Amino acid sequence: MTDLTKLTLAEARDGLKAKKFSATELTKAFVTAIDKGNGALNAYVLPTPDHALAQAKDSDARLAKGEARPLEGLPLGHKDLFCTKGIRTTACSKILDDFKPPYESTVGQNLWDAGAVMLGKLNNDEFAMGSSNETSAFGPVINPWRRTRDGKPDNAKLVPGGSSGGSSAAVAADLCLAATATDTGGSIRQPAALTGTVGIKPTYGRCSRWGIVAFASSLDQAGPIAKTTRDAAIMLRHMASFDQKDSTSVDTPVPDYEAALTQGVKGLRIGVPKEYRVDGMSKEAEESWQKGIAWLKAAGATIHDISLPHTKYALPAYYIVAPAECSSNLARYDGVRYGLRVAGKDLIDTYENTRAAGFGKEVKRRVLIGTYVLSAGYYDAYYLKAQKVRTLIKRDFDLAWDKVDCILTPTTPNPAFGFGEKSGDPLAMYLEDIFTVTVNMAGLPGISVPAGLSSEGTPMGLQLIGKPFDEATLFRAAQAIEDAAGRVTVKDHWWA
């Protein structure tokens, strides 16, 4: 039998419908793959094989009766930022300890209601704060890709991107068909680019945030990481919904994104912003960008130079807004109601002991920055000014939509880097998000799609940015790039 873990989500869906294999057989294949490979990659912080096999058994019963739901029997990985009823959810932080939520996130419930199977909880940067998955309390995730330097294999461990590094690594290593993820400043798109997968951050409000552990509430958004553009389109359709429990959820119909893939890009206007040519961007990122322009042009799109003049202010503004909201959201972790508790001589001492022991270094850094910019005397100078810059960034995009239908940029300035190469320098790490934060600041949809390999044999990604709630157009353009560039898959399964 074909290795079922190598199938795409769409192929597995069609195979189940054609009764080529059962949901139980499919799920067992992934359970075995996780048993063999997760020790080396650390993508899952909590595999749930018994739960998955019980769901698969239920799916097989439905398939036998002809009552299959849209995602019936399809095994997925679930980022540990999503609350799962009765199953440990920690946001990969010590402070949540052995927390088992009494409720399910809306996005998760949507997927299980559609018939999907949960293989386990995936590793992420602590509270989603990071760009390399090195800040997790469970240890770093290892990118399944390896570099080649001077014609020789380089076995240095590479980062899978962050914060959704567990999601991207699991999909790239065939430890699930697809995975849920979240994106606050690029945490779906950046790891997708570094692992040769497809990741889409939908428009703010497209997916419910209810039941997702909060980082920065005005920026956080759920989305999928998948093997192909088609798979990402299938996933997003069933993750997205209006939710009365989320005041920022938008009541608008969710299109059939998979159907949009057949429409092509003929006549589509693609914008190329000059401000995305920045210092520190590798030559290969520029070359990949030029290839993307040529591919879209050859497919029938027209290319237009545009300007987004406030782009250079996006990263500093983001690193004021995001830590400010983080410091507010994380105030709830006090050792009183749930999670870790380190007792002290009085209540204040308990707060201080619990937070000192429970939060990692990067989380503490961002809480301190956020508390500072929100403090009396600095609120107007920093936070309020950053919000004004955010408005100007959004206005740049609003003006661009008069001229173009979507925008093409690199996803990251460089391919995957090694552990420790940037983690000692927070500013260098923050620059990894330079092409992605604008999308979150403006509340827009953005997708990363593989665009071939670097000279080191590791993936490069291209980003497409779209109009609000026009994810369908992004999928069309992403499919054109995927058709031209081809899929990139890891050849050496060294972890298995």
Residue 122 has, within 13 A of its CA and on its CB side, a CA count of: 32
Q: Is 384 part of a structural domain of the chain?
A: no
Is 403 an annotated catalytic residue?
no
Provide the number of structural domains found in the chain: 1
Q: Is 469 part of a structural domain of the chain?
A: no
* CB-based contacts of 335, cutoff 8 Å, min separation 6: 341, 342, 350, 351, 353, 354, 355, 358
Q: Is 105 part of a structural domain of the chain?
A: yes
pLDDT at 422: 75
Global pTM? 0.96
Q: Is 324 part of a structural domain of the chain?
A: no
Q: Do 249 and 282 touch, CB atoms closer than 8 A?
A: no
Q: Is 293 part of a structural domain of the chain?
A: no
Q: Which of 148-157, 229-238, 401-410, 418-427 has the lowest mean pLDDT?
A: 418-427
Quick one: which of 211, 181, 214 has its CA closest to 195? 181
Query: How far, in Å, CA of 492 to CA of 349, rounded?
Result: 51
Average pLDDT over residues 312-316: 94
Quick one: which of 224, 289, 292, 203 has its CA closest to 478? 292
pLDDT at 1: 56
Q: Is 328 part of a structural domain of the chain?
A: no
pLDDT at 370: 96
* CB-based contacts of 100, cutoff 8 Å, min separation 6: 86, 87, 88, 89
Q: What percent of the chain stands above pLDDT 70? A: 99
Is 208 an annotated catalytic residue?
no
Encode 142-153: b = buried (16+ Cβ within 10 Å), e = exposed: bbbbbbeeeeee
Is 187 an annotated catalytic residue?
yes
pLDDT at 319: 93
Query: How far, in Å, CA of 243 to CA of 236, rounded?
Result: 15
Q: Is 39 part of a structural domain of the chain?
A: yes
Residue-averaged pLDDT of the chain: 96
Of these residues, 163, 241, 423, 448, which one is catalytic?
163
Structure tokens at 157: 């461990």
Range of the domain at 10: 4-265
CATH number at residue 20: 3.90.1300.10
Of these residues, 22, 28, 59, 79, which one is catalytic?
79
Average pLDDT over residues 229-251: 98
Of these residues, 22, 93, 168, 187, which one is catalytic?
187
Q: Is 421 part of a structural domain of the chain?
A: no
496 or 100, higher pLDDT: 100
